[in-house]
Amino acid sequence: MNQRFATAVADHAPQAAVVLVQDYHLTLVAAHVREQRDDLRFVHFHHTPFAGPSDFEVLPPAVRDEILEGLAAHDSCGFHTPRWVDNYRACQAAFSDRGGDHVRCDAQQRSRRPRVGLRR
């Protein structure tokens, strides 16, 4: 599903557009699009609770990494509650090889660190 959305975005988004990606099931879209186009900016809004580290750790390591890398591919991430922001940051710190500084580098080796915020 993420690859299909990514292909559509890559094919149809105007040059330098800002793309809003909503909810957990599309977490990987930005990472897939960035393989084709690096001119776009991505904002991800998470409408569902983000698991804390004790729940997140039951996922296989490859799945945890894919989720964190997928979110890190966005320029900005938003969550509904401070608790979900805290959970996301705690998972970054607990499961990232970079110790809470979960940065993804694109093909040009330009660092990306998503800004994380709360919708009030």
Q: What is the pLDDT of residues 75-117, one digit of tens each?
A: 888 888 889 888 988 998 898 764 444 433 222 223 445 566 5
Maximum Cα–Cα distance across the chain: 41
In this structure, what token pair is assigned to residue 98?
């970079």
Question: How is domain 2-118 classified at the CATH fold level?
Answer: Rossmann fold (3.40.50)
Phi, psi of 41 (to 5 degrees): -110, 145
Residue given tokens 């964190």 in the structure block: 68
Q: What is the pLDDT of residues 26-83, one digit of tens each?
A: 999 999 999 999 999 999 998 899 999 999 999 999 999 999 989 989 988 888 888 9
Rounded distance between C-alpha atoms, residue 58 and residue 35, angstroms: 29
pTM score over 0.85: no
Taking a C-beta distance cutoff of 8 angstroms, is the pair 68, 92 a contact?
Answer: yes
